[in-house]
């Protein structure tokens, strides 16, 4: 069992009524993530959202900008394969995307491989007991585990993250969306020093908007900062869907597994959020380990 960091800040006990109402209003929009092809979800009348799968920023405008039809098609096909758990089918689209060297699509492909790795790893090593992805049709039964082992998939995922970072850092001037993408890639790679560096770039732009607020929230939650709850609250109040995940994560860090799980289960049910499923599984492992002590 991994060590849990002690967190001083208790996420303000947001009134559960508010949470329940907001989470009930989560709807699937007709906008698809430009990175991974997942439908964006919204819990309010927000002009933008963050992908529940890869956390890329999305709004109608940003999504349709520089739409290379070849990339778009591959991203959509990769997303479809992912949703259907047809991971092997998704590989060719993910790799085709990587050939084109579009940073956004590379980010999506990197997340595709990371999730594929999770599935493979969990299939091999855990007794899931129907806990994660109760809907077994989401899991592919024909994984060629020898060819696609979890380690190989993880390294493919890292390779794509690094490639997008190389593109991002080679640009002479970088816009907010690219800065955010680089920040998130470093978060996913768990490169501590670079996470701070890329956040500093975003902060330097002094844009008091949802992209910067989201990055601050991720950073504070990752650091288990005493102020993390404030940052989560700033995103949860207007109804940014992923902020509920970060709220659950804070609750879990405070060992409030019941409330964390109930939020995560709702998210999983309404959006199929992969990171919610992952955290739910981890909580169940921690609880099991604690029960054995």
Only one of the segments 37-45, 61-69, 80-88, 212-220 lies at the binding site for Zn ion (rule: CB under 5 A); that segment is 37-45
From 20-28, 53-61, 80-88, 126-134, give the range in contact with Zn ion by CB under 5 A.
53-61
User: Should residue 57 be labelled a site residue for Zn ion when binding is judged by CB under 5 A?
Assistant: no
52-64 exposure pattern, b = at least 16 Cβ within 10 A, e = fewer: bbbbbbbbeebbe
Evaluate whether 163 touches 101 at the Cβ level (below 8 Å).
yes
The separation between CA 49 and the C-alpha centre of its own chain, rounded to angstroms, equals 12
CA–CA separation, 188 and 160 (whole Å): 11
Interatomic CA distance for residues 13 and 48, integer angstroms: 26
Task: Kindly calculate the radius of gyration of the chain based on its CA atoms and give it in whole angstroms.
Answer: 18
Does residue 35 bind Zn ion (CB under 5 A)? yes
For Zn ion, the closer of residues 51 and 143 by Cβ is 51
Residue 31 contacts Zn ion per CB under 5 A? no
Q: Please identify which residue in 56, 105, 260, 283 interacts with Zn ion, judged by CB under 5 A.
A: 56
- Total residues binding Zn ion (CB under 5 A): 8
Q: Contact with Zn ion (CB under 5 A): which of 7, 26, 36, 195?
A: 36
Return the number of the residue (110 or 232) whose C-beta is nearest Zn ion: 110
Q: Rounded to the nearest whole angstrom, what is the least distance from the CB of residue 55 to Zn ion in the complex?
A: 7
Q: Which is nearer to Zn ion, 184 or 279 (CB)?
A: 184
Tell me how many degrees the CA angle 237-104-48 measures, rounded to the nearest 5: 25
Report the residue from 26, 54, 165, 181 that binds Zn ion according to the rule CB under 5 A: 54
Q: Is 51 exposed, middle or buried (0-12, 13-18, 19+ CB in 10 A)?
A: buried
Question: What is the Cα–Cα distance from 266 to 93, expressed in whole angstroms?
Answer: 30
Q: Across-strand partners of 28?
A: 41
Nearer to Zn ion, 110 or 220 (CB): 110
CB of 8 to Zn ion, least distance (A): 33
Question: Which residues in this chain contact Zn ion in the complex, by CB under 5 A?
Answer: 33, 35-36, 38, 51, 53-54, 56
């Amino acid at each position: 069992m991994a060590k849990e960091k002690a967190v001083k800040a208790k996420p303000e006990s947001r009134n559960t009524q508010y949470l329940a109402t907001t989470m009930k209003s989560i709807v699937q929009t007709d906008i698809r993530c430009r990175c991974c092809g997942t439908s964006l979800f919204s819990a309010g009348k927000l002009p933008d959202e963050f992908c529940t799968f890869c956390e890329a920023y999305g709004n109608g405008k940003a999504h349709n900008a520089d739409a290379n039809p070849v990339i778009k098609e591959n991203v959509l096909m990769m997303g479809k394969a992912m949703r259907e758990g047809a991971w092997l089918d998704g590989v060719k689209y993910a790799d085709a995307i990587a050939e084109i060297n579009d940073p956004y699509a590379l980010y999506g492909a990197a997340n595709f491989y990371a999730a594929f790795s999770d599935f493979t790893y969990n299939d091999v090593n855990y007794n899931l007991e129907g806990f994660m992805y109760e809907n077994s049709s989401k899991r592919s039964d024909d994984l060629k585990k020898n060819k696609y082992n979890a380690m190989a998939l993880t390294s493919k995922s890292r390779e794509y993250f690094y490639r997008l970072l190389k593109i991002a850092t080679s640009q002479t001037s970088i816009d907010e969306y690219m800065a955010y993408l680089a920040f998130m890639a470093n978060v996913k790679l768990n490169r501590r020093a670079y996470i701070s560096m890329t956040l500093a770039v975003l902060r330097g732009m002094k844009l008091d908007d949802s992209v910067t607020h989201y990055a601050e929230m991720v950073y504070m939650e990752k650091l288990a900062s005493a102020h993390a709850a404030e940052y989560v609250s700033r995103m949860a109040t207007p109804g940014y869907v992923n902020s509920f995940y970060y709220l659950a994560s804070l609750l879990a860090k405070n060992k409030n597994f019941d409330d964390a799980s109930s939020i995560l289960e709702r998210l999983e049910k309404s959006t199929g959020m992969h990171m919610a499923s992952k955290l739910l599984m981890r909580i169940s492992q921690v609880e099991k380990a604690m029960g054995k002590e």
